[in-house]
Amino acid sequence: MAKHFHVNTPLLESISMSKHVGTTVFLKMENSQPSGSFKIRGIGHLCQQRATQSKGVVCSSGGNAGMAAAYVARKMGLPATIVVPSSTPQLVVQRLKDQGATVKIVGKVWDDANGEALRLTETEGLTYVPPFDDPLLWQGHASIITEVAASLGPVVKPGAVLVSVGGGGLLCGVIQGLKDVGWTDVPIIAMETVGADCLNAAVKAGRVVTLDDITSEAKCLGAKTVCKKAFECTQSSELTIISELVTDQQALHAVETFLDEERVLVELACGASLAAVYSGLIRRLQDEGRLPTVLGPLLVIVCGGSSIDMKQLANLKHKLQT
Ligand code: PLV
């Protein structure tokens, strides 16, 4: 079997983003993974550890974890069942089917779909592939940071890392990676959209809370409850994690600006991170003294995502303007 399923993605310097933020910006292009997002790192690793003897995998997903599970299962010669909520766009359902997966649409949000995936694990004896809450996923995602460290070399260290947060798996992986390479003094800016803000709500409440509903259009950030580990990391003094929100409109504007300036189309979940650059949030954090005024290179994890094409972009524009 292959050593791993993900590829070593490009680390690109963005001149236009650097102009926006006033410091060098490096983009870790996870959109160029074979499954369209970073998810393949953790899910590939988890399946290699857990699914080699499996009769098939089942994954609950907002879309991208499912894309990764379907891709990995196909490469491993295993059947994949992907359970998605009804909010998942048809284009993702089709892309999952094109990967050879069986798709089940259950419930309104990811939490509902997850209930069905857990049920199938029990009744069908399938291997459960969680989208964000498992140490094996975090270990796999941590390779993002080890690759960045290898690309930057020993003398360059990021001033901060920008990540999007859904259920918190990517965040936990980035934390793990920063620890692995000894960059624990690098602050993380954890971005969510208003209405898919389970980490921010937990930070404000001082405990893990469950959102009533997901009202953001960034459905791939739409877990109602953040994983315990991600919340605990925000409470620990080992690393600095700054939890921030943008609106769907800001995330959409970021997706469009990124398309114009970098010629790359990513979904709204990723736009949440990019918006921190384009909306002036980084500069505000510097003004507030929460980030240093003289900031080292900003590392943006371009998490990617398959829930987007020109038609979907137009739909989102229409929805978010009214
Ligand atoms: N998406 C998960 C969870 O959805 C999924 O099933 O695909 N950026 C993109 C493009 C994503 O797809 C996701 C997660 C994230 C960021 C956030 O990652 P997380 O969940 O590990 O914090 C409900």
Output DSSP code: residue 88. S
Instruction: Choose which residue among 64, 176, 188 to substitute to test ligand 1 binding: the one with the highest number of ligand atoms within 8 A of its C-beta.
Output: 64
Cα of 6 vs centre of ligand 1, distance in Å, is 16
Q: How far apart are the first and last CA of the chain?
A: 50
Q: What CA–CA distances, in Å, run from 16 to 21, 27, 253, 261? A: 9, 12, 15, 7
Residue 226 Cα to ligand 1 midpoint, Å, equals 11
CA of 304 to the centre of ligand 1 (A): 10
Cα dihedral across residues 21, 22, 26, 32: positive or negative: positive
Q: Based on the number of CB atoms within 10 Å of its own CB, is 146 exposed (0-12), middle (13-18) or buried (19 or more)?
A: middle
Question: Average pLDDT of the chain?
Answer: 97
For residue 137, give both structure tokens: 């996923």
Q: What is the pLDDT of residue 108?
A: 95
pLDDT digits 0-9 by tens, 67-125: 999 999 999 999 999 999 999 999 999 999 999 999 999 999 999 999 999 999 999 99
Pocket of ligand 1 (CB under 6 A): 37, 39, 61-65, 110, 131-132, 164-171, 220-223, 267, 269-270, 303-305
| Burial tier of 105 (Cβ tally within 10 Å: 0-12, 13-18, 19+) | middle
Output the pLDDT for position 3: 85
Whole-model pTM: value is: 0.98
Q: What is the pLDDT of residue 2?
A: 65
Nearest residue CA, atom 1 of ligand 1?
A: 220
Give the distance, in angstroms, between the CA of residue 128 and the centroid of all CA atoms in the same chain: 19
Segments in the chain below pLDDT 70: 1-2, 322
Q: What is the pLDDT of residue 279?
A: 96
pLDDT at position 322:
65
Task: Give the residue, by CA position, lying nearest to ligand 1 atom 21.
Answer: 169
Structure tokens at 30: 């996870």
Q: Please identify, by atom number, the ligand 1 atom nearest to the C-alpha of residue 65.
A: 7
Q: What confidence tens digit (pLDDT) does each residue in 295-308 have?
A: 999 999 999 999 99
Residue whose CA is at the smallest distance from ligand 1 atom 17: 166
- Best substitution site from 221, 227, 255 to test ligand 1's pocket, by max atoms within 8 Å of Cβ? 221
Report how far ligand 1's centroid is from the alpha carbon of 293 (Å): 31
C-beta separation of 215 from 195 below 8 A: yes
Q: How far is the CA of 63 from the centre of ligand 1 (A)?
A: 8
pLDDT of residue 219: 95
